[in-house]
Amino acid sequence: MIDSGVSAAVAGLLACDPDVADAVDLAVMSRRSASLRAFADYVDVRINRRSNELAVQGAADSGAHVLLDEGRLTGRDALATGGRDRVCTEMPAFDDALATGACTSGHLDALANLTKDLTDEERRDLSLVVDDLVANAADQPVALFDKTTKAAIDKIRATHRPNSDADELDRQRAASKIKRWTDRDTGIKHTLISLDPLRDASLHAVIDAHLSKLRQDPANKLRSFDELRIQAVMAAVSAGQSAHRIPEVIMHVDHQSACHGRHDDTLCETIDGQPIPVSTMQRLCCEAIITAVIVNPDGTVDQLCEELRTANRAQRRQLAAMYSTCAHPDCQVAFSNCRIHHIIWWTKGGKTVLANLLPLCETHHHQVHEGGWNLTIDKHRVVSWYRPDNTLWQTDDGPNRKPRHRRPRARPPDPLREPPPEPTTLFARTA
């Protein structure tokens, strides 16, 4: 095995005493220690790789077992080493970078997590920018490397899977869950809520609003932060029981993404930096207060303006007089449970005027924004629905509060309400 500066690092550490070192010496020692850790992780990767090769031949245990039994690693660390091995095998440049201390195991862990679900075509595209990834790993801390690498991978995914960001949010929503259990030793009740980034932001926006009020109350001056936070959660639950409230969710998005969609430098995330699909942001902004922030070249902000793009009370009353339910021809969701959708999207220049507004339930609002469906409306409010491939699906009879005499039509059923017969995929985006 090549000595990639390990001997010099060991000699340097042996020659220093941390107890009497000054700040400069401690910084040098810390860098040397980091290079040794990286080298040790590199050796574990090589051990894992060779052990797995021998295990196939029946001549050794698997790499994970060797690292667990002989290397005295935890199960989590042994599993992480397997992920690092995969990254280094697919991108050998990271093998060398880890050996020389140019990157850390944390960088490889981030890369392993971000690439585990890539297709073969996406992996090939990623291999074309591996030199940039290695350079970023050498210059960036793990958290920043994770963010920049995710942006690069999202760009690749968008090429092969245009709806990948929305699909990821749907996957996160499907994986969301609540678990409740009791600690047998203490009797404490535990509630674990796992949420997608959007609903998590919505939940904590309400909790943080209650927490802010509690912290401003002089009577709570001596109460701990944890105690106040628990009370804020309970207050949020109580408020939800007593009144219907729309939580405020703050999202940061650049103007180009908001108006024209994702691009190379897209910014679309919650206030805490969690990425959100641009299509989802555009859907949510059908009813939102838009604050335009002018950011200076040095990153400072000194100007903002606010515009309400939500339908006003009069417009909602006018729409309610025309629509008793969602405007989708086969939907019975009540008007009061609908969003007011801009037919020509506000981000594309559409105005918040009655002629451009239509009530849509969450399902069909999602279908238009994330699903790629398009709508047009004429002066009689007759709406035409177009599939993602721009073929006409149906033209309705106008506002649905009046008696409706449907024209006979032969068309597939709505799979958001009932499964279509095979091989029809009415609401799937076509390639």
Enter the pTM of the model.
0.53
Beta strand residue intervals within 46-93, DSSP E: none
281: three-class secondary structure by DSSP = helix
Mean pLDDT of the chain: 81
- Percent of the chain past pLDDT 70, that is, above it, reads 82
| Alpha helices per DSSP H over 105-184 | 105-115, 120-127, 130-139, 142-160, 164-175
* Residue 311 neighbours by CB under 8 Å, 6+ apart: 287, 319, 340, 352, 357
CA distance 194 to 172: 9
Q: What is the pLDDT of residue 135?
A: 94
420 — pLDDT class (breaks 50, 70, 90): very low
pLDDT over threshold 70, residue 256:
yes
CA distance 228 to 224: 6
Is the separation of the CB atoms in 370 and 359 below 8 Å?
Answer: no
> Domain-by-domain residue ranges, the chain?
6-161, 177-242, 251-308, 311-431
Give the Å distances, CA to CA, from 166 to 65, 112, 169, 287, 364: 38, 22, 5, 19, 15
* Residue 203 neighbours by CB under 8 Å, 6+ apart: 193, 195, 236, 247
Average pLDDT of 133-160?
89
Radius of gyration for the chain, computed over Cα atoms and rounded to the nearest angstrom: 28
Q: What is the pLDDT of residue 351?
A: 81
